[in-house]
């Protein structure tokens, strides 16, 4: 397997270097077919003859991965790809994550057995994490930086839709409590990075003292990589379990759109926010909602959920982060900051349903600016009509 990973890495890096050289010479990027022909010629040379000792399927897949990386980069430059700007492909390193992909003719799964067959490698014993729901179309052999081996299969199946229960929930994400639900439930985060920070610093200092290229440095690097893997696994396990629980218990899930990339720039909160994994949690909810037939919605990030009273709709103004409880100046009800925000997040979705159902004429009554002519404005100043300003919660009642 180490030989296979090395060959895949060499093929990828060699093709990338060739593309960079062609670009410097003023030529166009070679197509995937040209790179494939070049690989065939390299196998015939004496220097790269050892490429024939491994299966050719993962080597060709490495060229396809390079082609896909360039395609993502070009689309991002043209504005045809959503999200952050994608950088051009980079050279693969020997100490980082390694992978080799086999198509359906390069591997075989034995029924009722703990062994799989990979081309030119042989039978490998595996520990199954779950049963495969269908016949896989491809298998990817993965080795992470902590020297752990995984096999990932691609299968096609139709997930079972969960029965509708009519329950709705609003979720307010925070640092002290990871998630506060509109029903009053609060979920604490395991904060794996904070718990392992002291040990992480010690292992990083130990690694920095080791001489580069030495065996002791490699041992220290593996220990540090294993700790990073443990932190990541703890966080992902918590996020998967929580998102699955919310999806199973609720039909409609409402979340607030948070500017996570902007909040991370705050040097006092960046480590704590990164340790929580807000964006990963939202991605999991979106994917599982589509998979199990749930309704996932996101409200605008500028909605003043923490400033508005969830009972009367009065806006009490901006509050500092250390203010966790406050009393409404209009109705006198005491609020927990996070629970009040979660209720408001859910109420924003209920309001949009009401407006779509025929209450759109009340938009002006909820504070929208209206331009009046001079005559109508003077008439209103002389004989002001009696009216009551409607709030979000008046419409819901």
DSSP string computed for 77-119: HHT-S-SSPPPPP----SSS-EEEEEETTSEEE-TTSSEEEET
User: Token digits for 185?
Assistant: 């439930």
Check: CB of residue 66 under 8 Å from CB of residue 15: yes
Q: How far apart are the first and last CA of the chain?
A: 65
pLDDT of residue 252: 94
pLDDT of residue 351: 55
For the question of residue 338 being annotated catalytic, the response is yes
Check: CB of residue 282 under 8 Å from CB of residue 239: no
pLDDT of residue 335: 84
pLDDT of residue 228: 96
pLDDT of residue 350: 60
Q: pLDDT for 135-189, tens place per residue?
A: 999 999 999 999 999 999 999 988 889 999 989 999 999 998 999 999 999 999 9
Bridge-partner residues for 180, per DSSP?
Answer: 172, 186
Q: pLDDT for 55-79, tens place per residue?
A: 999 999 999 999 999 999 999 999 9
- Looking at 14, 65, 256, 275, which residue is catalytic? 256
Q: pLDDT for 298-325, tens place per residue?
A: 998 888 888 888 888 888 778 877 877 8
DSSP string computed for 341-369: HHHHHHHHHHHHHHIIIIIGGGTGGGT--
Closest to 51 measured CA to CA, from 33, 36, 34: 36
Could you state, in chain order, the average pLDDT of each consecutive group of 10 residues for the chain (397 residues)? Answer: 96 96 93 94 93 96 96 94 91 94 95 94 94 94 95 92 92 92 92 96 97 94 96 97 96 91 88 93 95 92 84 81 81 85 83 44 37 40 36 42
For the question of residue 256 being annotated catalytic, the response is yes
Q: Please tell me the total number of residues recorded for the chain in this structure.
A: 397
User: Token digits for 392?
Assistant: 């979000």
Against a cut of 0.85, is the pTM above it? Answer: no
pLDDT of residue 353: 54
- Looking at 172, 177, 368, 375, which residue is catalytic? 172
For the question of residue 249 being annotated catalytic, the response is no
Alpha helices in the chain (DSSP H): 2-24, 32-44, 56-78, 192-195, 197-209, 215-249, 260-263, 270-276, 278-292, 337-354, 374-382, 392-396
Residue 50's Cβ-side half-sphere holds a number of Cα atoms within 13 Å equal to 9
Question: What is the C-alpha separation between 2 and 219, in angstroms, rounded?
Answer: 18
pLDDT of residue 386: 35
Question: What is the C-alpha separation between 161 and 290, in angstroms, rounded?
Answer: 9
């Amino acid at each position: 397997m180490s030989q296979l990973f090395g060959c895949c890495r060499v093929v990828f890096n060699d093709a990338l270097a060739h593309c960079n050289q062609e670009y410097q010479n003023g030529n166009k990027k070679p197509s995937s077919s040209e790179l494939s022909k070049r690989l065939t010629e390299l196998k015939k040379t004496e220097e790269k003859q050892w490429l024939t000792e491994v299966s050719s399927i993962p080597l060709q897949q490495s060229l396809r991965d390079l082609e896909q990386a360039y395609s993502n980069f070009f689309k991002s430059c043209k504005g045809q790809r959503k999200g952050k700007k994608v950088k051009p492909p980079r050279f693969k390193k020997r100490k980082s994550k390694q992978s080799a992909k086999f198509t359906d003719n390069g591997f075989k799964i034995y029924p009722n057995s703990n062994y799989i067959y990979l081309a030119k490698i042989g039978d490998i014993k595996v520990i199954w994490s779950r049963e495969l729901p269908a016949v896989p179309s491809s298998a990817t052999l993965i080795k992470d930086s902590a020297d752990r081996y995984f096999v990932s299969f691609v299968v096609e199946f139709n997930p079972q839709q969960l029965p509708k229960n009519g329950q709705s929930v609003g979720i307010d994400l925070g640092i002290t409590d990871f998630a506060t639900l509109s029903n009053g439930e609060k979920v604490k985060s395991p904060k794996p990075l904070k718990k392992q920070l002291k040990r992480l610093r010690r292992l990083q200092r130990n690694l920095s003292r080791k001489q580069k290229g030495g065996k002791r440095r490699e041992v220290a690097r593996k220990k540090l990589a294993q700790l990073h893997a443990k932190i990541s696994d703890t966080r992902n396990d918590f996020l998967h379990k929580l998102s699955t629980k919310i999806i199973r218990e609720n039909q409609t899930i409402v979340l607030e759109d948070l500017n996570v990339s902007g909040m991370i720039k705050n040097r006092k909160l960046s480590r704590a926010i990164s340790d929580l994994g807000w964006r990963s949690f939202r991605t999991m909810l979106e994917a599982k909602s589509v998979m199990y037939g749930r309704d996932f919605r996101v409200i605008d990030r500028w909605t003043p959920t923490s400033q508005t009273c969830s009972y009367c709709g009065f806006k009490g103004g901006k509050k500092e982060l250390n203010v966790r409880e406050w009393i409404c100046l209009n109705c006198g009800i005491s609020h927990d900051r996070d629970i009040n925000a979660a209720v408001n997040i859910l109420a924003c979705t209920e309001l949009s349903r009401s407006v779509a159902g025929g209450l759109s004429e009340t938009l002006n009554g909820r504070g929208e600016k209206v331009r009046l002519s001079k005559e109508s404005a003077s008439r209103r100043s002389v004989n002001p009509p009696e009216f009551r300003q409607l709030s979000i919660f008046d419409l819901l009642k």
